[in-house]
A and B are shown apart, each in its own frame.
Chain A
Amino acid sequence: MKKKVILVLIVFTALPLLQSFCGFYVSTGDIKIFNQASEVILVRDGNKSTITMNSDFQGDVKDFAIVIPVPTVLKENDIKVVKKDIFNKLNKYSEPRLVEYYDEHPCEPRIMYDEMVVTKSVSFNSSVAERKKEKELGVTIEAKYTVGEYDILILSAKESTGLKTWLLQNDYKIPAKAEEVLEPYIKSKMNFFVVKVNLAEMKKLGRDELSPIQISFESEKFMLPIRLGMANANGAQDLIIYAFTKNGRVESTNYRTVKIPTDKNIPTFMRPKFQDFYKDLFTKQYKKHGKNAVFTEYAWDLSSHNYQKCDPCSTTPPSYAELKDAGVFFANYRTPQGYQGSDYEGNLFFTRLHVRYDRANFPMDLQFQETMDQQSFQGRYIMQHSVNVDMQTCSEGKRYYNDVLSRRENELETLANLTNWDIDSYDDYTNEIRTKLGYKTTKSETKKGGFFFFSKGNKPNKTLPTLLLLSGLALVSFLIYKRKTIFPKLGTIKSFLF
């Protein structure tokens, strides 16, 4: 009894302390990590949702079109166009980051640092155009608006073939496979938000690129209809979701939501390769989690009472004006208070999710829920720089360089584990230190294998499927072997039912 109580106490005292992040943010250039990704801002409070979609449409704007299932007939003031900058801002604020630290000199402690910044951004895929013959096709135009540079129609339909025909007749390029998803949306009483560019308006407004579209509606459904978008895409698509809610982290309810590996020490030569590093890290995680998980890349409490809105900050946290652009309808202005005080008041939580989806692995639209989880999270990768030490004059030099050597070995191993990169070619990274220590330099064979079938090297991780398969086989053989004992009444299985 006493033992049990002690156990509880130990667990209690070991409760995780408030995590603190630090280090200096490192710029890794202006290259996009995922330049084929779509971006969406999701704002949700109660039953009200605001969704902002960013399009990085590359072709001729007259070919641009979007068809989105929406739960209600949107009113004109539920539809807005916003500035594209907001997406760059949110991306910069929340994207996975590289931070760096400098060792203290083992004999003459002092701190050095430098500070820089990174960026990355996105795209959105779609197709469209417009005209009549609605009635016989069962298509009704519920509303018609011109907002910004867009002509917008809200359609309802009776059946999918009619809708498809209407869309094709009106020059909306609808993919061949779209019909199988149009049907369920129509029967779920969804309307269709259909957008194409009004070239005259665009010219009048003097815009040279397409603005993100923002729609607001009331619905119990907290979801993103990704199925329609899959109909025209070959292969997997990347989607970045920036979610704003009042209480806590947003997660998917019908797919696993997994945090991206973070706080990993990686070699210092990674600075120019950071984009490739993170891309490969993401791909590895994506495969590891069965190609159907949703990844949390960032989560932070942005409430006005929380003064630390990022750490390290890659840019300033979103301001009231930016939140309004993002569609955060529940944000209220206030005069900024105190050092780093926000110019809005109230509770606000920001989540960044990253999904790579395709038809085979995502049979359902993404559904979400807001959790009560307010813990901060960020994808953060650390470079620890060593200092130059004169081994002659500094008595601590040898111990210091030994530490650096083992640290660098670990960093290389982490790199291989996270990305499956071949680390053989980075021998110089450790040999540099070996030379300083007067050790023999090595040409390492890759540390392959790992423990049992837990591959550490360059092979994809099949741990879980293998384990499951083995336990399944073991179970089946066990059942067959002991069938007489376990199922003594196998013949009377019906009696269990009724």
Chain B
Amino acid sequence: MNTTTLEFPKNNILSLLSDARHFQILFLGSFLVLVLFANDFPKDFLFQIGLTISSCIVFQLLFSHFTTKNYSSWKSALITSLGLCLLLKVDNLNWILVASLLAIGSKFLIRYKGKHIFNPANIGVVGTILFSHHAWISPGQWGSNIVYLFIIGSLGFLVIKKVARIDIALTFIATFGGLLFIRNILYLGWPIDFWTHQMTNGTLMLFTFFMITDPMTTPNNKKGRIIFALILAIIAFYLTTFNHFYAAPVLVLLFMSPLTIIFDKIWKSEKYSW
């Protein structure tokens, strides 16, 4: 479980970053800190962050204890919890526990050929929304600031590059953005900033660079990933545009995840390992 893709100098701060997960933690963590600064540290949100992170890690360690006894995976749990913090909104913090349990539990319980099927943060968010009726996604919560795009995009790029999943993110964003452009700008005739406003949406950026790029829950083969991203983008576009369902990408990903099994059968490739 310890293949490094890049040779970083050892005994150097950079060697820490040789694990793509550290990048992700660093990025999602600093994004969260920025958000907290910008909003004067809202108490409720601090509670939510604390609870999400601690519960995810506890569940991860508990599940590990009864299965693999490999405790190093707490980092993945941390990333999952950061994703939950940034996407999920609940009316009662108890639902955070449900989300964490769903997210971490699915990783251990819903598996096929050594791969978990669902992206943990994704199933945590969507599962809680569907079953509890006390949770929701606020697609507008991170605004549409072009600067965010730059920061998230470039940091995200780095992470994906390191886990070699740039193809799925680029395919998704190009298809989704392209379809929106054709529909809203070329066909309907909205001014161009209508489109940039849509495309710089913080939630969309997070989804593109940090959720669908998860190497554990996307097809192993490059061709498979690209087709996967194409289908995802087309369905998400359809739901967003014609059904006014603005959190569509996150939901569609959940229902498409099981397809990964089929994709992996058609296009064979080696499984990713951190």
Residue positions of A touching B, CB distance < 8 A: 1, 4-5, 7-8, 11-12, 14-16, 180, 183-184, 187-188, 220-223, 248, 251-258, 261, 289-290, 292-294, 363-364, 367, 369, 371-375, 463-465, 467-469, 471-472, 475-476, 479, 482, 485-488, 496-498
- Say if the beta carbon of B194 comes within 8 Å of chain A: yes
How far apart are the CA atoms of A472 and B39 in the complex, in Å?
20
Q: Encode contact with A along B112-145: 1 for CB under 8 Å, 0 otherwise.
A: 0000000000000000000001111011111111
- 13 other contacts beyond A11-B47, A187-B187, with CB at 8 A cut-off? A4-B61, A16-B47, A180-B191, A183-B189, A184-B189, A184-B190, A188-B188, A255-B140, A372-B90, A373-B91, A464-B34, A468-B150, A475-B154
The reply to whether B244 and A497 form a contact with Cβ atoms under 8 Å apart is no
Contact pick for B141, options A222, A256, A488, CB 8 Å: A256
Contacts of B198 in A (CB 8 A): 254, 364
How far apart are the CA atoms of A363 and B191 in the complex, in Å?
8
How far apart are the CA atoms of A197 and B14 in the complex, in Å?
71
Residue of A nearest to B49 (CB): A11
The reply to whether B51 and A11 form a contact with Cβ atoms under 8 Å apart is yes
- Mind listing 15 A-B residue pairs with CB under 8 Å? A8-B51, A8-B55, A15-B93, A253-B138, A256-B141, A363-B193, A367-B246, A371-B89, A373-B136, A471-B34, A485-B8, A486-B6, A496-B164, A496-B167, A497-B167
The reply to whether A255 and B189 form a contact with Cβ atoms under 8 Å apart is no
A338 to chain B, nearest CB (A): 26
- Say if the beta carbon of B262 comes within 8 Å of chain A: no
- Say if the beta carbon of B221 comes within 8 Å of chain A: no
Contact A372/B136 with A14-B47, A187-B188, A488-B6 known, Cβ cut-off 8 Å? yes
Residue of B nearest to A487 (CB): B161
Contact pick for A184, options B50, B93, B154, B188, CB 8 Å: B188
Residue of B nearest to A454 (CB): B37
The reply to whether B61 and A1 form a contact with Cβ atoms under 8 Å apart is yes
Contact A482/B136 with A11-B54, A290-B143, A468-B148 known, Cβ cut-off 8 Å? no
How far apart are the CA atoms of A183 and B185 in the complex, in Å?
11
The reply to whether B244 and A468 form a contact with Cβ atoms under 8 Å apart is no
Residue of B nearest to A482 (CB): B14
The reply to whether A468 and B140 form a contact with Cβ atoms under 8 Å apart is no
The reply to whether A364 and B197 form a contact with Cβ atoms under 8 Å apart is yes
The reply to whether B136 and A371 form a contact with Cβ atoms under 8 Å apart is yes
Q: Encode contact with A along B209-247: 1 for CB under 8 Å, 0 otherwise.
A: 000000000000010001000000000000000011011
How far apart are the CA atoms of A401 and B212 in the complex, in Å?
60
Residue of A nearest to B197 (CB): A363
Contacts of B135 in A (CB 8 A): 372
Contacts of B190 in A (CB 8 A): 184, 363-364
Contacts of B140 in A (CB 8 A): 251-257, 294
Smallest CB-CB A-B distances: 4 pairs: A363-B193, A184-B188, A183-B189, A253-B246
Residue of B nearest to A374 (CB): B91
The reply to whether A373 and B166 form a contact with Cβ atoms under 8 Å apart is no
Q: Encode contact with A along B174-194: 1 for CB under 8 Å, 0 otherwise.
A: 000000000010011111011
A320 to chain B, nearest CB (A): 26
A455 to chain B, nearest CB (A): 13
Contacts of B51 in A (CB 8 A): 8, 11-12
- Say if the beta carbon of B256 comes within 8 Å of chain A: no
- Say if the beta carbon of B201 comes within 8 Å of chain A: yes
A360 to chain B, nearest CB (A): 8
Contact A4/B58 with A16-B47, A254-B197, A364-B197 known, Cβ cut-off 8 Å? yes
Residue of B nearest to A9 (CB): B54
Contact A372/B91 with A11-B47, A255-B140 known, Cβ cut-off 8 Å? yes
The reply to whether A463 and B91 form a contact with Cβ atoms under 8 Å apart is no
B151 to chain A, nearest CB (A): 6
How far apart are the CA atoms of A452 and B6 in the complex, in Å?
38
A264 to chain B, nearest CB (A): 11
B23 to chain A, nearest CB (A): 10
B68 to chain A, nearest CB (A): 15
Contact A486/B158 with A183-B188, A253-B139, A372-B135 known, Cβ cut-off 8 Å? yes
Contacts of B187 in A (CB 8 A): 187
Contact A180/B189 with A4-B58, A372-B136, A485-B6 known, Cβ cut-off 8 Å? yes
- Say if the beta carbon of B4 comes within 8 Å of chain A: no
How far apart are the CA atoms of A258 and B75 in the complex, in Å?
31
Residue of B nearest to A183 (CB): B189
- Say if the beta carbon of B1 comes within 8 Å of chain A: no
- Say if the beta carbon of B87 comes within 8 Å of chain A: no
Contacts of A294 in B (CB 8 A): 140
The reply to whether B54 and A293 form a contact with Cβ atoms under 8 Å apart is no
The reply to whether A468 and B34 form a contact with Cβ atoms under 8 Å apart is yes
Contact A8/B58 with A180-B189, A475-B155 known, Cβ cut-off 8 Å? yes
Contacts of B93 in A (CB 8 A): 15
The reply to whether B143 and A7 form a contact with Cβ atoms under 8 Å apart is no
- Say if the beta carbon of B44 comes within 8 Å of chain A: yes
Contacts of B8 in A (CB 8 A): 485
The reply to whether B139 and A254 form a contact with Cβ atoms under 8 Å apart is yes
Contacts of A5 in B (CB 8 A): 58
The reply to whether B37 and A472 form a contact with Cβ atoms under 8 Å apart is no
Contact pick for A7, options B54, B142, B148, B161, CB 8 Å: B54
How far apart are the CA atoms of A254 and B188 in the complex, in Å?
18
The reply to whether B141 and A187 form a contact with Cβ atoms under 8 Å apart is no
Contacts of B40 in A (CB 8 A): 261
Contact pick for A11, options B37, B38, B50, B138, CB 8 Å: B50
Contacts of B191 in A (CB 8 A): 180, 363
B45 to chain A, nearest CB (A): 11
The reply to whether B194 and A363 form a contact with Cβ atoms under 8 Å apart is yes
Contacts of A8 in B (CB 8 A): 51, 54-55, 58
Residue of A nearest to B158 (CB): A486
Contacts of A184 in B (CB 8 A): 184, 188-190
